[in-house]
Amino acid sequence: MKIEYQPIGIIHTPYTDLAGMPIQPIGAEGVEGTVEVFAEYRDGLQDLDGFSHIILLYHLHGSTGYKLHVMPFLDTEQRGLFATRAPKRPNPIGLSVVRLRKVEGCVLSVENVDMLDGTPLLDIKPYIPAFDAQRQVRSGWFAKAIGMGAHKKSDDRFR
């Protein structure tokens, strides 16, 4: 089975190189970007301005190939790929929750961007805390590294 997606827009950020980027939106707090939604999808943006945060799903276009065991940015041990947020994946799909500042026509002004400039946008969903914020969670091996996520930058290990 082959699955194909077409971008619905392009994400613009200040990051032009994979090395040195924040590894999660928490490490990009206050960093501004824009989401350019293609004109044919403009009507789908109706009512989006009522949300403070949105979920962006995108293609990790700077990523090629993958390994099933990786050393993630926040650890010094090899981990199973699916127990990490490493960008090199069989289906290089990224997900970020960003702050929505405003909607002007087909352009969304957002904050807390952690993706490469020119990233193809696959979908937008509203962030709804009652649905998306979970209670009684376990963070696996990440539990000991959570506090480092705001300060850690990407390096060249996933080029």
The reply to whether 2 falls in a domain is no
* Domain presence at residue 26: yes
Residue 156 lies in a domain: no
129 three-class SS: helix
Residue 109 lies in a domain: yes
Q: What is the CATH number of the domain that holds 43?
A: 2.40.30.70
> pLDDT of 76-130, one tens digit each?
889 899 988 888 899 999 999 999 999 999 999 999 999 999 999 999 999 999 8
What DSSP string runs through 77-105?
Answer: S-EEGGGS--S--SS-EEEEEEEEEEEET
Q: Does residue 153 contact residue 114 with C-beta atoms inside 8 Å?
A: no
Could you report how far apart the first and last alpha carbons of the chain are, in Å? Answer: 28
Residue 97 in tokens: 């929750």
Neighbours of 76 (CB within 10 A): 7
Which of the pair, 127 or 71, is modelled with greater confidence? 127
Question: Based on the structure, what is the number of domains in the chain?
Answer: 1
Evaluate whether residue 155 is within a structural domain.
no
Which pTM does this prediction carry? Answer: 0.85
Q: Of 25, 23, 6, 3, nearest to 110 (Cα)?
A: 25
Q: Are the C-beta atoms of 49 and 103 separated by less than 8 Å?
A: yes
52's tokens: 């403070």
What letter would DSSP give residue 154?
A: -
Closest CA to 97 of 108, 117, 84, 111: 111
Residue 151 has pLDDT above 70, yes or no: no
Residue in 56, 83, 58, 49 with CA at minimum distance from that of residue 68: 83
Q: How confident is the model at residue 157 (pLDDT cuts 50, 70, 90)?
A: low
4 in a structural domain: no
